[in-house]
């Protein structure tokens, strides 16, 4: 009888505690600073928050908190998961962020890339030469420095190569890993058209095609301008112009 009485009151009490906890979580508010950057980490100027909406259902889903921002500082933001959209001139940066601390810095990186149906093209990374341990499993991992992307692929024992889904344009840390530990590390900037790399594990050297670039100290000091970066920018602008002209041609043909 005594146990039944305890159980009778325990459940309403637990529900009350849960409701209070949820209410307190909703009342908690945060201040965040958004740092908009290009695909290689260059800080973007003249930006504004175009959208800050909760990832949820119901009335909260339609609530836009962009008015909570002055410049790139947002205040009195309830804890939760949000879709953040930042506009910097012609660039539109979209990302999902979590607000879970009272003061936070959020890096919003510009996405530059084409969307493919299915798997799309791939980047082939071939391991050249003997491995430190033939019986070990090897794999490569590309970790996005700014865009948060992560690509992982196993190196085939038969071909000595890994097929990585074509990574989005950006800065990456390229890792060669094995079941015995980390083998090699390199910092690589790339555009989405890179297709063939060769890795030499004995001296941890990496050969890349013309659509990728091994980052140097000089690149970081000069803000990743000129040289390879300028060449890739010109190619990107040419591609965009050709796509626009093709679309305009299709539209003109459809009106006839």
Q: Which of 30, 168, 166, 172 is nearest to 95 (CA)?
A: 168
Domain residue limits, the chain = 2-109, 122-225
Fold agreement between 2-109 and 122-225: yes
Residue 64 · residue 78 · CB < 8 Å:
no
- Cα distance between residue 33 and residue 36, in whole Å: 10
pLDDT given at position 119: 73
pLDDT of residue 4: 47
Nearest to 194 by CA among 122, 126, 144: 122
What's the confidence (pLDDT) of residue 22? 47
Strands (E), 55-160: 69-70, 73-78, 80-88, 91-99, 103-109, 122-127, 138-144, 150-154
What pLDDT was estimated at residue 59? 58
Q: Name the stretches of the chain with pLDDT < 70.
A: 1-27, 56-62, 130-135, 250-256
**CA-to-CA distance for 151 and 162, rounded, in angstroms?**
11
Confidence (pLDDT) at 108:
93
**What is the fold of 122-225?**
Immunoglobulin-like (2.60.40)
- In whole angstroms, what is the distance from residue 33 CA to residue 103 CA? 8
Domain 2-109: assigned CATH number: 2.60.40
C-alpha distances (whole Å) from 127 to each of 118, 138, 177, 199 are 26, 10, 12, 5
Query: How far apart, in whole angstroms, are the C-alpha atoms of residue 224 and residue 230?
Result: 9
Burial annotation 65-74 (CB, 10 A radius, 16+ → b, else e): beebbeebeb
Q: What pLDDT does 245 receive?
A: 84
Q: In a 10 Å sphere around its CB, with 0-12 CB exposed, 13-18 middle and 19+ buried, how is residue 122 labelled?
A: middle
Contact 97, 106 (CB under 8 A): yes
Q: Report which of 74, 96, 75 is spatially closest to residue 84, judged by C-alpha positions.
A: 96
Instruction: Check residue 212 and give its pLDDT.
Output: 98
Write down the pLDDT at residue 92: 92
Q: Contact 160/127 with Cβ under 8 angstroms?
A: yes
CB count within 10 Å of CB 21 equals 10
């Amino acid at each position: 009888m005594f146990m039944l009485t305890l159980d009778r009151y325990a459940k309403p009490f637990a529900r009350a505690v849960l409701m209070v906890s949820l209410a307190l979580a909703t009342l908690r508010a945060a201040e965040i600073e958004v740092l908009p950057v290009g695909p290689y980490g260059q800080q973007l100027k003249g930006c504004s928050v175009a959208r800050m909406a909760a990832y949820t259902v119901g009335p909260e889903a339609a609530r836009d908190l962009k008015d909570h921002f002055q410049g790139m500082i947002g205040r009195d933001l309830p804890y939760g998961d949000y879709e953040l959209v930042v506009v910097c001139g012609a660039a539109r940066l979209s990302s999902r962020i979590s607000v879970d601390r009272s003061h936070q810095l959020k890096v919003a990186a510009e996405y530059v890339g084409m969307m493919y149906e299915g798997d799309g093209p791939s980047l082939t990374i071939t391991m050249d030469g003997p491995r430190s341990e033939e019986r070990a499993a090897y794999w490569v991992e590309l970790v996005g420095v700014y865009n948060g992307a992560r690509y992982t692929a196993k190196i085939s024992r038969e071909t000595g190569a890994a097929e990585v889904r074509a990574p989005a344009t950006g800065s990456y840390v390229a890792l060669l890993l094995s079941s015995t530990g980390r083998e090699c590390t390199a910092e690589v900037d790339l555009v989405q058209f890179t297709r063939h790399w060769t890795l030499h594990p004995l001296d941890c050297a990496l050969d890349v095609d013309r659509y990728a670039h091994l980052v140097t100290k000089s690149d970081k000091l000069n803000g990743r301008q000129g040289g390879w970066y300028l060449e890739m920018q010109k190619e990107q602008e040419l591609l965009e112009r050709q796509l626009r002209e093709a679309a305009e041609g299709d539209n003109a043909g459809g009106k006839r």
